[in-house]
Chain A
Amino acid sequence: MANLATKIASLKLDNPTILASGLMDEDAGSMKRIIDCGAGAVVTKSIGLKSRDGYPNPTVIELETGFLNAMGLPNPGIKDFEEEVKKIKQSNCVLIGSVFGSNSKEFLELGSEMQSFGADALELNMSCPHAKGYGVEIGSDSKLVKEITSCVKDSIDIPVFVKLSSNVTDIKKIAMAAEKGNADGIVAINTVKAMKIDIDIKAPILANRYGGYSGKAIKPIGVRCVFEIAESLDIPIIGVGGITTGEDALEYVMAGASAVQIGTGIYYREIDIFNKVCQEMNMWMNDNNIKKISELIGVAHK
């Protein structure tokens, strides 16, 4: 049995698979189920200061090789989310709290709350491709990324990760800004901005028109982003985008990721995808005589 344990900053995980933000993580029961299916950690849905319904349906549709979504950051608001965090933390799992705001003050307030509820780390969502005033609108401005990250880092003790989008000219530059703001790690990537038009209706299907593409199709984009970031940064990276198998996860690890997140893969391989991916990584490592996952992090750079 190969050793799959990994470390991201001070966060220790039994295995490198993490539930990605926004899928099966609106309540404690769902996150518990994911943990029971073998995930090394879970990220909560991105939470804001006030409750938001998100966009009207259709919010999610399937395409040839992935899914397109424009949820619009639905969430019950940080106050109502307290009981979910406290409940899931009773089961002694590693919980990463995802938050979104429109400025450093909001991010800081949300981060402090998440920390006080008991989250083990924070993920700052600066990459949602379809919410006005949030997400990538912030995450494409390296000055803002640095400012928000350092503001949160100054007052927060748990590790802080910054989640980035591939929808920028130079993701290295943004990642470097986060590192300069003292981020403890980078999460890459969020969904890729995309659209689907129905030719009978002659209009986009998603109510928000634009959405974010996830699943198999975006894996090469995610792997490229992780590789580029790893070339220029020293802090750990969490790779995400299109992972459905152990081989996919290993690709991200070799590009430079210390851990991976899985979202849409749940559709293709059901909820126990976390166990399956770990088993497949383990098998490959045994076959290739690799004892520890850490031996593989970034090997593709040589």
Chain B
Amino acid sequence: MNKPTITKIIKTQMETKDIKTLKFYYPGKMSPGQFFMIWIPGVDEIPMSASYINKEDKGITFKKVGAATSALFKMNKGDKIGVRGPYGNGFNIKRGKTLFIGGGTGIATITVAVEFAANKKFSSDVIIGVKNKKELFFENRLKKFINKVYVSTDDGSKGYKGFASDLTKHLLSKNKYTSVLTCGPEIMMKQILSACKDTQFQASIERYMKCSVGLCGQCCLGNGLRVCKEGPVFDGKTLKKIPEFGVYKRDASGRKIKFK
């Protein structure tokens, strides 16, 4: 049933100064790229991708940006949250060599996808990109599944100096990949898509969500594609036909907000 189930936080982890992981008891199967609606009673209910997927418990990793994420940030072991889902389609992770790219908090979603590929013994490379090395997280977790983790920072404080999309272009010209899977700022993902000529492409998209079950229409893009249901992961062919991809999203009222 699509209503929140109350569950307890069983573990918390600080990832950076303002990024935190909460793990909670929530048994069941799900795929990397799928998400939950997390209810903080009295505050809000917000969409969050899974960053840890275990049989009995799940995790979310988020940045403190506003009221809901700040309330979550203050939570400790034993505190209660409401969870519904999982929702959406998730990544289609296939055999062949995959290049994973996570930008900002998108690293959370990408890491669990890399873990899935590694468990299946699929070969993959990963790029994680942030503005400054202080914002970097999950690098050590990724190193457990993968030999080389490429890091990019806008200011060059660690790894490649520049955008993750530029490092992607560099790797695409050097190596052969079957597919590219990404989650991060939409402008970054759009640039990666245009660099992806023949390589298959999938990106996880964020839109303002309310029902998350495909009813209210709040999250729609293109010709009525529901990010909560047909997404949040879309392939390159679909995204190329959506004029607003990388251009604008809608706020809670439905007004257009341009990406900067």
Residues of chain A at the chain B interface (Cβ within 8 Å): 22-27, 29-34, 36, 45, 51-54, 56-64, 67, 69, 71, 74-77, 80, 196, 198, 200-201, 203, 205, 207, 263-264, 266-267, 271
Asked if B80 is an interface residue, CB under 8 A from chain A, the answer is yes
Contact A198 B223 (CB under 8 A): no
A26 engages B218 (CB within 8 Å): yes
Question: In the bound complex, what is the Cα–Cα distance between A22 and B210 (angstroms)?
Answer: 12
CA distance A142 to B257 in the complex (A): 40
Other CB < 8 Å A-B pairs besides A60-B216, A267-B213, 16 of them?
A24-B220, A24-B224, A25-B217, A30-B217, A30-B223, A51-B253, A54-B210, A56-B44, A57-B46, A57-B210, A59-B210, A61-B4, A74-B218, A80-B256, A205-B4, A205-B39
Output the nearest chain A residue to B218 by Cβ-Cβ distance: A26
Contact present for A24 and B254 (CB under 8 Å): no
Judge whether B6 is part of the interface by a CB distance below 8 angstroms.
Answer: yes
Chain A contact residues: over half helix, strand or loop, or mixed?
A: loop
In the bound complex, what is the Cα–Cα distance between A62 and B255 (angstroms)?
27
Interface contacts (Cβ under 8 Å), in number, total 131
Task: Tell me the complex Cα distance, A74–B214, Å.
Answer: 17
Q: How far is the CA of A267 from the CA of B87 in the complex (A)?
A: 14
> For the complex, is B211 an interface residue (Cβ under 8 Å from A)?
yes
CB–CB B215/A264 < 8 A: yes
A200 touches B216 (CB 8 A): no
Contact (Cβ within 8 A) A75 B253 = yes
Give the chain A neighbours of B254 by CB distance below 8 A. Answer: 26-27, 45, 51, 74-76, 80
Q: Which residues of A contact B4 (CB under 8 A)?
A: 58, 61, 198, 205
- Return A109 CB to nearest CB of chain B, in Å: 19
Q: Is the CB of B220 within 8 A of A22?
A: no
Say yes or no: A53-B253 contact (C-beta < 8 A), given A25-B217, A29-B222, A32-B224.
yes
Question: How far apart sit A200 and B81, CA to CA, in the bound complex (Å)?
Answer: 10
- Given the contacts A26-B217, A67-B215, A77 and B41 also touching, CB distance less than 8 Å: no
Scoring B39, B250, B253 by chain A CB atoms within 10 A of each residue's CB, the highest score goes to B253
| Minimum C-beta distance from B83 to chain A (A) | 12
Task: Tell me whether B215 and A60 are in contact (CB under 8 A).
Answer: yes
| Pairs A–B under 8 Å by Cβ, sample size 23 | A23-B216, A24-B224, A26-B250, A27-B217, A29-B221, A29-B225, A30-B223, A33-B224, A54-B210, A58-B45, A59-B45, A60-B212, A60-B215, A61-B2, A61-B4, A62-B3, A74-B218, A76-B250, A76-B253, A80-B256, A198-B82, A200-B6, A266-B214
Question: Can you name the residue of chain B whose Cβ is closest to the Cβ of A32?
Answer: B223
Q: Contact partner of A54 among B6, B212, B253, CB < 8 A? A: B253
Quick one: CB contact mask for B76-111 with A, threshold 8 Å, 1 for yes?
A: 000010100000000000000000000000000000
**Is B252 interfacial (CB 8 A cutoff)?**
yes
Q: A63-B3, A76-B254 are in contact. Are A267 and B80 (CB under 8 A)?
A: no
Measured between C-beta atoms, what is the minimum distance from A91 to chain B in Å? 10
